[in-house]
Structure 1
Amino acid sequence: MSEYRPSDIRISDSEREDALGKLGEHMSAGRLDIDEYGERSAQVTAAKTRGELLDLFGDLPDPRPTFGKPAPAADPVPAPPRTVSYGQRIGPVLIPIIAIVLAIGLMVVFKVYIFFLLPFIFFAISGSRWRGADQRGRDDYRRAMRAHRDAVREHQRRMRGQWRDGRY
């Protein structure tokens, strides 16, 4: 069985990205000019082992690439909004139906006149209470989905900025 030196261990994509970010820091500090940065970043992308990567930083002070550290955790994506449950939707519909059934039962048992039922029938046919509650529910759902979509887009924009700045 052969033994590997630490410099012979292959590097991962996240370690390459870390090294590119550190090269960017050295260029912004003025230690590397743009041509040398271009050459070294091409060598970073072609590097296969930790030794090859560390050779590129031999003449540079800290920061240097680090190995074995986990990548920084990304911000969690916001959870989608809760949807309206079945019970919340059926409530505004069930109450007038129960009132109508109760009124019909009173009419059958106690021989109450039909004009007693007219207000209930009017509200049941017009459905004004149902439409109002249902429309408010749809509007709330649309508003919540729009806010969720905007939050996801903001999260994606922030992550692209971190990647572009070399922080991720």
Structure 2
Amino acid sequence: MTEVPSPQLRISDQERESALSALGEHMTAGRIDIDEFGERSAKITAAKTRGEVSELFADLPGPHPVFGPGEPAAAPSVAPVPPAAPMPPVPQPAADGSVAQPQQWSPAQRTLSALIPVAFIVAIVLIATGTAGWPVIFAPIGLTMVGRALWGRDFERQHDQRHRDRHELHRERRDAMRELRDEHRRNRRLGR
């Protein structure tokens, strides 16, 4: 029987880094938000014992920080929990409070999106064989313009908004990680 590491043991810089890394994975998975990540990471940085760090992961599934020679402090006899399958993206509320649902293509949109490449191929073949003159190329171009006029703007707006949201989230996470890194470096210089 292996001995359970005491929660009163002081943690090392490597164990603290393990805890910060595990916390970052929970934020990436969406289990905690950026504010909670900042609060918990500050507590990890200030923690002195394994018990203090383990308390911060009590309400989270794996991954947990690794202490000592590969033993988690909270429950060494329990097998680690395999990572959960990625969850589908959750629709986020819009500014007006409504929840944007992923838009499905209508049968007309699917039909038009299938016809456009076929129309281009047919037009090119007709022009190449000399069966029809070059103005036939305007048929697929016209189909494309009709489709864009009917449905293109909405999809572009949604795509642009999703892109801006992803970019903003990435920027927030990057800034939080930089702040955490800088705080950790300051604490190491001060000898904490």
TM-based fold match above 0.5 = no
**TM-score normalised by L of structure 2:** 0.34
TM-score normalised per structure 1: 0.39
**Structure ranking higher in helix proportion:** 1
Q: Which has the larger radius of gyration?
A: 1
Which structure has more RCO (C-alpha within 8 Å, separation ≥ 6)?
1
